[in-house]
Amino acid sequence: MAEIVLKQVEKTYGNVTAVHPLDLHIRDGELTVFVGPSGCGKSTTLRMVAGLEDTSAGQILIGGKDVTRLEPKDRNIAMVFQNYALYPHKTVYENLAFALRMRGQERAQIEQRVQWAAQMLGMESLLQRKPRQLSGGQMQRVALGRALVREPDVFLLDEPLSNLDAKLRLRMRDEIARLHRALKTNMIYVTHDQVEAMTLGDRIVVMKDGRIQQVGAPLEVYDRP
């Protein structure tokens, strides 16, 4: 677990400002949702937290440590994408084990972590399959599992359910909420869907035109229907 502090974080591309200087304090163990229309800067902000994008200005602290200039691998952050980004030729087991192998973990420990993640996500029976033998929902489970095995301080999810049909989206949304309750890890979840934001978020950050418009609990941000 780690709190995240953004101080005057800004991102420009040439003369386009994608994210205006913003301040944000994300408390330990919360599920924070960034919501807003396409192009408002949600993804750019998330990618800066992940270290996949440099900040143009400002500072990012994770657990009190300045990570602004650190590589993604040195931030202990896991990110889940809309398009899953699985290794197509590896089994589910290998997809989950890969990052741990790269870190030189022992086989027994890797196996234990993979089994644990598979169990958390109810996919023990899928471990020998290749991604092409999986449904969209199963692929997204594997993507979540791959993030999970690494025991990240922070979990970042960028529109993770956008490629799923409505029914599956509901199921996976509950699954993510359950995962968050079980792990109590900091999660930042990006979506353009207000209903998703409202049902998932402990706190909601509403963005518009590269700025934070509002921050609060769901009922502070949205009126009751």
Q: Which residues bind ligand ADP (CB under 6 A)?
A: 13, 16, 18, 36, 38-44, 91, 93-94, 107, 111, 115, 127-128
CB of 158 to ligand ADP, least distance (A): 8
36 or 201: whose CB is closer to ligand ADP? 36
For residue 151, give the nearest of 130, 189, 190, 120 by alpha carbon: 120
63 or 163: whose CB is closer to ligand ADP? 163
For residue 69, give the nearest of 60, 77, 78 by alpha carbon: 60
CB of 41 to ligand ADP, least distance (A): 4
Strand partners, 11: 19
For residue 141, give the nearest of 152, 157, 154, 153 by alpha carbon: 157
42 or 173: whose CB is closer to ligand ADP? 42
CB of 20 to ligand ADP, least distance (A): 11
CB of 11 to ligand ADP, least distance (A): 7
Give the 3-state secondary structure of residue 45. Answer: helix
Location of structure tokens 């990006």: 190
7 or 192: whose CB is closer to ligand ADP? 192
Contact 147, 80 (CB under 8 A): yes
8 or 128: whose CB is closer to ligand ADP? 128
CB of 224 to ligand ADP, least distance (A): 26
Collect all residues with Cβ–Cβ distance below 8 Å to 2 and sequence separation of at least 6. 28, 62, 63, 153, 154, 186
